[in-house]
Structure 1
Amino acid sequence: MSSLEKLLLNASSSLGEGEPEIQGRLLECAGALADQILGMLRQRNGFYALESALHVFPARSSQHELGISDWNENALWRSRYNGLADGCLFFAEDVFGGQFCIKGNRIYTFDPELGSLEYLADTIEQWAQTLLRDYEFLTGYPLAHQWQKQNGQLPVGKRLVPKTPFVLGGEFTLDNLHLIDAVEGMRLRADLAVQIKDLPDGAQIRFSVGD
């Protein structure tokens, strides 16, 4: 059994309907991995796994779920990063809204607080293998589990965003997490990333997440 099959074995049912399809510039961003991302979506067209700590977007939006095409629209949140998110196909996210994306035929994590990429894998199978090997760190599973134990299942379209950003010293604790709309969470962190970029040490930064 492949690592992707193992991941899907404990994942939700498909979040989208119909034949998965990715078009235009997004297909270009996927590059050599286009067939692989479509292959995964044909097996499970979007899903939640690891107690919703991992969220893979379906190909198309539905009444309750944003699809890959809409999630990658510049006007939704990407343009707020002032070029830091350009050239990427964002296809999944962790419980904090940290993104998994394809760029230049490789798979990366995208830190929403910094707008930075970190190499993760060369293929979707390697991505799944790496996730299963280090899922607690890569998805935020322990905090997702603890939060849901106290508050119930994470609502669709919501992520747990730190009140004090991790990059500014915020702790990985339940007290520092705020349930927020995933899109709004990305917009807030985009503003933070743009402020941080090229700032000297000790410069003041404005950031606010409601209680």
Structure 2
Amino acid sequence: MASLPDNLVGLLRQINGFILFGGGLHVRGVCEEPEWHSIASVIAGPTALHKLYPSLQPGDVPFAQDCVADQYVLRDRKVHKLEAETGHLVALGLSLPEFFAAVQSSPIEFLTMQPLLRHQQDGGSLEPGQVLHVYPPFCTKEAANGVSLKPVPVQEAIAFLADFSSQISSLAPGQKFSVKVVP
């Protein structure tokens, strides 16, 4: 835990990671197993997030994720959101306590939990270590016609999303692409 920011260390000493809102937010813990819960695996493991997403740096701390595998990252003690489909890193301008206050005051809107709510209304749930695979990805025009939501292991979702974001990152600004949806 020595390389983690002290504000995160304090939290993880009290409770070593947790899942809220039926999978709407997963804060990773300091452990080796299970891998899906390990903060060390996303910081320095073989599939560390900074190796998969060029917008991340080796010193970034991906401490949490939402229901669709968007990542919450500490950089210089401020929280950023990595949009997993596109690879864009968005500065939220929040400290860690401010982040948790925003989660508490408006979880559905702040964490964009509408896909999870829809999945739950359809009788679904997420098991620990799962996120929702959204297909076609929300960032595509095809998503306007509706998307399927399927629980998948988080490692599978991150691998798919990192590959997808890598493919679309080579597009010129304004360049269009399409996703062929096959049954």
Amino acid at match of 2:21: L
- The residue aligned with 2:90 is 118
Secondary structure at the counterpart of residue 192 of structure 1: helix
Give the partner amino acid of 1:35. Answer: D
CA contact (8 A) 1:161 1:179 kept: yes
Trace 1:158-177 onto structure 2 (pairs within 5 A).
158-169=130-141, 170-171=143-144, 175-177=147-149
1:179 aligns with 2:147: no
Q: Post-superposition shift, 1:176?
A: 2.2
Structure 2 residue aligned with 1:132: 104
Deviation at 1:172, TM superposition (A): 9.8
- Aligned-residue Cα RMSD (Å) equals 2.7
* Corresponding residue for residue 193 of structure 1: 165
Between the aligned partners of 1:151 and 1:184, the Cα distance in structure 2 is: 22
- How many angstroms does 1:65 deviate by? 4.8
CA distance in 2, matches of 1:115, 1:156: 24
Number of residue-to-residue matches in the alignment: 179
Residue type matched to 2:99 in 1?
W
Aligned to 1:43: 14
In the other structure, the counterpart of 1:153 is 125
Counterpart CA distance in 1 for 2:95 and 2:161 is: 28
- 1:22-67 Cα deviation digits (max 9, x unpaired): 24xxx2xx5xxx1110111122211111222111111113347531
| Cα distance change on mapping 1:167 and 1:146 into 2, 3 Å | closer
State, as a whole percentage, how many aligned pairs show the same letter: 20
Structure 2: any 5+ residue segments left out of the alignment? none
Q: Tell me how far apart the structure 2 counterparts of residues 206 and 142 of structure 1 sit (CA, whole Å).
A: 23
- SS of 2:90's equivalent in the other structure is strand
Conserved? CA contact 1:136–1:142, under 8 Å: yes
Cα distance between partner residues in 1 of 2:67 and 2:180: 20
- Structure-1 residue corresponding to 2:41: 70
Amino acid at match of 1:38: V
CA distance in 2, matches of 1:48, 1:166: 24
Contact 2:55 2:89 in 1 (8 A): no
Q: Distance in 2 between matches of 1:95 and 1:146?
A: 12
Instruction: Say if 1:192 and 1:206, in contact at 8 Å, map to a contact too.
Output: no
- Report how far residue 206 of structure 1 moved: 6.6
Q: Which structure 1 segments of 5+ residues have no match?
A: 1-21
Contact 1:192–1:207 (CA under 8 A) maintained in structure 2: no
Q: What displacement does 1:68 show?
A: 0.5
Normalising by structure 2, we get a TM-score of 0.83
- Counterpart position of 2:76: 104
Distance 2:113 2:66 in 1: 8
Question: Which residue type is aligned with residue 73 of structure 2?
Answer: C
